[in-house]
Amino acid sequence: MLGDLPADWKKYHSDNLAKIDPAIRDRAVEFLRNFFTEEVKQLIREAEKDNPQTWWAAYHSFWGMGVRNTLRKNGFSEKELCVENLDDCYIGLVELAVL
């Protein structure tokens, strides 16, 4: 899985987040800030600090897909965010929400 990722995952996310209308992006980030508990936010911060490029990879198959689907169910789908795939931007949204 990790072999197919861009070398600089952070830049890849920044580039994808920059394509989202700022007002919609900010609403999605605010939604996630309210969705995550303080404990979950702290765990994400610690994981990101330990491994900034791929902290999320071990969690994608279940937790990440759940976050992605929660975004979709709450008005932040690919259509609303004007992206091809939430997988390309949900991690960046999570990081903005907790860091």
What does the mean pLDDT of the chain come to? 89
pLDDT, residue 13, reads 74
Q: Are 56 and 64 in contact (CB under 8 A)?
A: yes
Q: Which pLDDT value is given to residue 1?
A: 46
Q: Distance between CA 17 and CA 88 in Å, rounded?
A: 9
Give the phi and the psi of residue 51 in degrees, each rounded to 5: -150, 80
pLDDT, position 4: 63
The pLDDT score that the predictor gives to residue 7 is 67
Longest dimension (CA), the chain: 33
Q: Express each pLDDT in 10-55 by its tens digit.
A: 777 778 888 899 999 999 999 999 999 999 999 999 999 999 888 8
Q: Which of 42-46, 69-73, 85-89 has the lowest mean pLDDT?
A: 85-89
Distance CA 70, CA 1 (A): 23
Asked if 72 and 4 count as a contact pair (C-beta separation under 8 A), the reply is no
Report the candidate in 31, 56, 26, 32 with the shortest Cα–Cα distance to residue 44.
Answer: 56
pTM of the model: 0.87
